[in-house]
Amino acid sequence: MANEPTTGAKVGLSILGSSGSIGRSALDIVRSHPDRFRIRGLACGKNLDQALLQAREFRPELLSVDESLYSHVREELSGTGIHVQAGVEGACAVAALPDAEVLLSAIVGEAGLAPTWEGIRNGRTVALANKETLVVGGQTVIDRIKSKGARLVPVDSEHSAIYQAMRGHSWTGVRRIILTASGGPFFGKTRADLDQVSRDQALNHPTWKMGPKITIDSATLLNKGLELIEARWLFDIPSSQIDVVVHRQSIIHSMVEFEDASVLAQMGVPDMKGPIAYAISGEERLPIGVPFLDLVKTGTLTFFPPDHETFPAIRLAARSIARTGQGPLYLNMANEVAVQAFLEGRISFTGIFDIWERVMAEAPEAVPESLDEIRRAVSRATALAHDAVAKTGSMGSVPVCS
Ligand code: MG
């Protein structure tokens, strides 16, 4: 394939979301393999220090920053030859840069969709960390990828595990895929316990160090629900063939079960650098400084069924695919608004669950046919979610601190 990097040659890489946790891990990998990667473009958010440090170290052709930083960053970098742009347009320009075979899409949330779409439009290999591209974009994005000759390589650890396990195997022999879930910080709690959860408790994840939005998603288990939707599109597999098992140690990153009862699992010490390096390197095995797995030291791997009574997220996500065209999009936008409201102390932890249900019930069946139609659907779902939060928020007090 034309956009597949040649082994041994430098990979031209652009990163959307370079100041976030995935973006920074990717730059660590690039830093330790300067002979393998050349940074072409970086799009970061509102972190001024990171924007300047990254620009000076990696010398991209183009740096995109939040609009609020634009004039300052432009002045600071004048004379360096680095072009500076801002906002969604800037991120889209980074995604469209020529000579970048690989685009790492790691902007969190629906905001990542437009620049990722731009990368797909330009036929890039997209190393996809942004779940929402598939959750919100669904069929529309898949059709676009096929028509533009683009490729998606998953960065989410579960999907990377399945992608790796499927190398050399045909999907016709697959019985089901099994996504592993850490269970989040509230594993074993009851619904009544969850009503009392504070923001600080929810932000304290046992295994993975991630940004606040994804940490809350992991505490509600909607993260796993979104991953189920992501897997459905990425691997073209019905939700009835996707199972979830709680695996507290996060050593097995996911599994594929075949018709002959054989199961392939991908394992490792939990560190996002693994899936990131695999995706951005053109699926090579680079040394990346992650500790090697010592199974004797690990001792025991445990597995539990998910508690769907306490955590409705996974079943809700499965329902969102089965029932309506825009179900996943509505669920995702409801969640983005609800998580923000929870982080700001406006609704309770279980209030998030109510917002999902209420907004998803309004999802239309028509599948959007363009990025503009997706955007209009996103606006409608977001407005409904804000209404739902306003109603919920006025209904009771919320514990903010533990
Ligand atoms: Mg994941």
The CATH number of the domain holding residue 75 is 3.40.50.720
For residue 290, being part of any structural domain is answered with no
18 CA from centroid of ligand 1 (Å): 18
For residue 120, being part of any structural domain is answered with yes
390 CA from centroid of ligand 1 (Å): 30
Q: Do both 215 and 319 map to the same domain? A: yes
157 CA from centroid of ligand 1 (Å): 5
130 CA from centroid of ligand 1 (Å): 10
Helix (H) or strand (E) segment spanning residue 58: helix 48-58
Q: What is the pTM of this model?
A: 0.91
85 CA from centroid of ligand 1 (Å): 31
What are the φ and ψ backbone dihedral angles of 86, each rounded to 5 degrees? -140, 160
Q: What is the DSSP code (8-state) at residue 241?
A: G
| 3-state DSSP of the chain | CCCCCCCCCCEEEEEECCCCHHHHHHHHHHHHCCCCEEEEEEECCCCHHHHHHHHHHHCCCEEEECHHHHHHHHHHCCCCCCEEEEHHHHHHHHHHCCCCCEEEECCCCHHHHHHHHHHHHCCCEEEECCCHHHHHHHHHHHHHHHHHCCEEEECCHHHHHHHHHCCCCCHHHEEEEEEEECCCCCCCCCHHHHHCCCHHHHCCCCCCCCCHHHHHHHHHCHHHHHHHHHHHHHCCCCHHHEEEEECCCCCEEEEEEECCCCEEEEECCCCCHHHHHHHHCCCCCCCCCCCCCCHHHHCCCCCECCCCCCCCHHHHHHHHHHHCCCHHHHHHHHHHHHHHHHHCCCCCHHHHHHHHHHHHCCCCCCCCCCHHHHHHHHHHHHHHHHHHHHHHHCCCCCCCCC
94 CA from centroid of ligand 1 (Å): 25
224 CA from centroid of ligand 1 (Å): 7
Q: What is the pLDDT of residue 326?
A: 95
53 CA from centroid of ligand 1 (Å): 28
Q: Do both 69 and 144 map to the same domain? A: yes
160 CA from centroid of ligand 1 (Å): 9
Q: Which range (131-135, 299-303, 329-333) has the least confidence?
A: 131-135
156 CA from centroid of ligand 1 (Å): 5
Measured between alpha carbons, how far is 286 from 277 in angstroms, rounded to an integer? 7
For residue 285, being part of any structural domain is answered with no
Q: Do both 196 and 339 map to the same domain? A: yes
154 CA from centroid of ligand 1 (Å): 10
Q: What is the CATH number of the domain that holds 187?
A: 1.10.1740.10
How many distinct structural domains can be found in the chain?
Answer: 2
Q: What is the pLDDT of residue 108?
A: 85
Q: Do both 37 and 109 map to the same domain? A: yes
Q: Please check whether residue 97 is in contact with residue 63, taking contact to mean a CB–CB distance below 8 angstroms.
A: no
pLDDT tens-digit readout, 209-230: 677 888 899 999 999 999 999 9
Helix (H) or strand (E) segment spanning residue 42: strand 37-43
pLDDT tens-digit readout, 19-61: 999 999 999 999 999 999 999 999 998 999 999 999 999 999 9
201 CA from centroid of ligand 1 (Å): 20
227 CA from centroid of ligand 1 (Å): 7
For residue 60, being part of any structural domain is answered with yes
Q: What is the pLDDT of residue 400?
A: 43
Q: What is the pLDDT of residue 200?
A: 87
126 CA from centroid of ligand 1 (Å): 17
Q: Do both 126 and 181 map to the same domain? A: no
Q: What is the mean pLDDT of residues 135-152?
A: 92
Q: What is the pLDDT of residue 132?
A: 86
Q: Do both 151 and 177 map to the same domain? A: no
User: 5 pLDDT exceeds 90?
Assistant: no
159 CA from centroid of ligand 1 (Å): 7
Q: What is the pLDDT of residue 61?
A: 97
Q: What is the mean pLDDT of residues 284-296?
A: 96
Cα→Cα distances 19→62, 97, 152, 294, Å? 15, 19, 22, 31
Q: Do both 237 and 363 map to the same domain? A: yes
Q: What is the pLDDT of residue 142?
A: 92
Q: What is the mean pLDDT of residues 266-286?
A: 96
Q: Write out the residue range of the structural domain in which residue 252 sits.
A: 171-268+300-393
